[in-house]
Chain A
Amino acid sequence: MSPRQASLPSLNLDNVAVMRGNRMVLRDLSVAARSGDIIWIRGANGCGKSTFLRLVAGLLAVTSGAIHAEGRIALADENLALDANVTLEAALRFWADMDGASADARDAALTDMDLQDLAHIPVRFLSTGQRKRASIARVLTSQADIWLMDEPYNGLDSASCARLDQAMLAHTASGGIVLVAAHQPPSINVAHSLLLDKQGAAT
């Protein structure tokens, strides 16, 4: 599906802790993800799932411990990051250019998420579920090795959920890694799940 680098993607977190303000939001986290893994991150509201994904994405600094990621990372969080006033296709093209992705990859991503009919509609007119699909399409277009998906099922209808599962399966089948934070268990096989407790520790 996507061109792989010479080395297989991998992700290792070694005893990571994160302080924000005066509060320890994540601690004692050790994760090892290998090529082909889907890891389900679960836990109650506010336990640090999104913080964990932002940490892996490199948007937060670790307070102690170490993170080592091999491969390019793509993040789909609650922010769409697509320009509201241009068409969906043009908004995706901007990120495709940033990632050096081809027009074919962009079209394939639109088709995978069943967005081809919406390609010429300005992003601001998209519904909640359509926006979610658009942000997933942005990740698909990036052809990154490691996908970080924050609540990707929110607002998706069952057909779209199946499409997302299909895309994640295809990604891992071709050697990628997916970290998915969700309350519902993904309907696909996950390599292992990471349960965060109220104190942000893995249990």
Chain B
Amino acid sequence: MKSFVALVAREVRLAWTGGGLWLPVVFYLAVATLFPFVTGPDKALLARTGGGILWIAALLATLLPIERLILPDRQSGVLDQLAVRGWSDELVATAKIAGQIVAFALPLLLATVVGAALIGLPEAQLGTLLIGLAMALPALSGLSVMIAALTAGLNGASALGGLLLVPITIPLLIFGAGTLAEDPGNAMQLLAATSLAITALSPFAAGAALRAGRI
């Protein structure tokens, strides 16, 4: 357990010292800022669509750290050293996902408060948006680690990562946007179920990809 915590802490440290703290946050807020330039400063329209835009921005921000999640550790031999010490690839993936939740998901949730203010989202919707994102961000963290493991070392890994991520996140996006409607109850339950399934499965998919990538 102590070594698991040490690995998670290392993930967080590497993320925050490598630009992983502010880069996704700034990107996320930049998308939120750009949006009113396209739609015009119509307050009613922004209030109606702003939540959905923040969902898309969060999804795109997920792509940013993909290149540094797995590849550097494979190249430097860290993954090999963990395997020699008897770590299963699934456990390594779980630690990396946990690290992503702390290093990426939490700052993004905090930034959502700022983003919602920039767009002028009604306060009543902010709570729903935060709950929805809080449920989906672990799944997005899991997906980013899984896709990083799948594409590590391939040519054009980041473009390929985008192609892989978009279709898998469609259910999250549909239910996530659904929670912003008048009655969020059903959509919220479906979002929770989808997010839980993706979060729970991603360590196994990422672990299998790590194993397959070992030469």
Cα–Cα, bound, A166→B86 (Å): 28
Q: Which of A78-98 contact B (CB under 8 A)?
A: 78-85, 94-95, 97-98
A99 interfacial contact with B, CB 8 Å: yes
Query: Is the beta-carbon distance between A98 and B6 smaller than 8 angstroms?
Result: yes
Partner of A75, one of B10, B17, B84: B84
Instruction: For the complex formed, measure the closest distance between the CB of B24 and the CB atoms of chain A, giving whole angstroms.
Output: 19
Tier of interface size on chain B = 10 to 19
Instruction: For the complex formed, measure the closest distance between the CB of A85 and the CB atoms of chain B, giving whole angstroms.
Output: 6
Cα–Cα, bound, A181→B128 (Å): 60
Cα–Cα, bound, A80→B80 (Å): 11
Query: Is the beta-carbon distance between A75 and B14 smaller than 8 angstroms?
Result: no
Query: Is the beta-carbon distance between A59 and B17 smaller than 8 angstroms?
Result: no
Best-surrounded residue of A20, A59, A82 (most CB of chain B within 10 A): A59
Q: How does the 8 Å CB contact mask read for B180-215 relative to A, with 1 for contact and 0 for none?
A: 000000000000000000000000000000000011
Query: Is the beta-carbon distance between B76 and A94 smaller than 8 angstroms?
Result: no
- Tell me whether A75 and B3 are in contact in the complex, defined as CB-CB below 8 angstroms, given that A81-B76, A83-B14 are known contacts: no
Chain B neighbourhood of A54, CB < 8 A: 80
Cα–Cα, bound, A80→B14 (Å): 17
- Tell me whether A79 and B80 are in contact in the complex, defined as CB-CB below 8 angstroms, given that A94-B10, A98-B85 are known contacts: yes
Q: How does the 8 Å CB contact mask read for A33-76 relative to B, with 1 for contact and 0 for none?
A: 00000000000000000000010011110000000000001110
Instruction: List B residues at the A interface (Cβ < 8 Å).
Output: 2-3, 6-7, 10, 14, 17, 75-78, 80-85, 214-215
16 A-B pairs (CB sep. < 8 Å): A20-B215, A54-B80, A58-B84, A59-B80, A74-B84, A79-B76, A79-B80, A81-B77, A83-B10, A84-B76, A95-B81, A97-B3, A98-B3, A98-B7, A98-B82, A99-B85
